[in-house]
Amino acid sequence: MLPYPNLAEESGLDPDNVSVRVRVGVQNWRTYVKKLILIIDDDKLFLDIITLMMYDNNQMIDGYQVNILTARNGKGGIDAIENNISDLDLVFIDVMLPDISGLEIYKHARTLNKELHIALMSGYPLAELSNDPNLHYLHKGQFGLNELELLFEKIF
């Protein structure tokens, strides 16, 4: 997976805060549902791990072709949300970011699109914050590919 800063720039995003990752390769005969996912987390290693999990060892999560935008801070995340709001299918947001709270990003995204699926992530247990049916919670240290597939089944 390679970051493509020129694609970020073409989308009106700051390439210092956002990278675009795409799966490159030959598709087999199966039909895949395309999904655009944004992951906002300041931990580069975690971004790489969750991206790899979604590609499932260079395969897509069963039945889905995922294109992934990543942002390493809150400002980049907000920019990516604002510039892609009509195309985004799911946003993963780390609750603890260095510049803006993940909860503030969630609230901002909700003002733009009430139907957007958002998964808040934290290394600490999260109490349910709202009755929002499109808000999901993931404990960063305790989820893997199975949990991602269950989340995809639940929301798509």
CA dihedral 5, 11, 12, 16 (to 10 degrees): -20
Calpha distance 96→120 (Å, rounded): 10
Tell me the torsion sign for CA atoms 129, 140, 100, 4.
Answer: negative
Q: What is the mean pLDDT of residues 26-31?
A: 50
Calpha distance 19→108 (Å, rounded): 21
pTM above 0.85, yes or no: no
Residue 102's pLDDT is: 95
Domain spanning 5-123+135-142, CATH architecture: 3-Layer(aba) Sandwich (3.40)
Q: What is the mean pLDDT of residues 67-72?
A: 92
Calpha distance 142→147 (Å, rounded): 9
Pick from 12, 72, 16: nearest CA to 40:
72
Residue 152's pLDDT is: 83
Task: Give the highest mean pLDDT range of 47-51, 64-68, 84-88.
Answer: 84-88
First to last CA, the chain: 24
Helix axes 74-84, 102-112, angle to 10 degrees: 10
The pLDDT tens digits for 93-140 are 999 999 999 999 999 999 999 999 999 998 776 666 667 888 888 888
Q: What is the mean pLDDT of residues 144-156?
A: 82
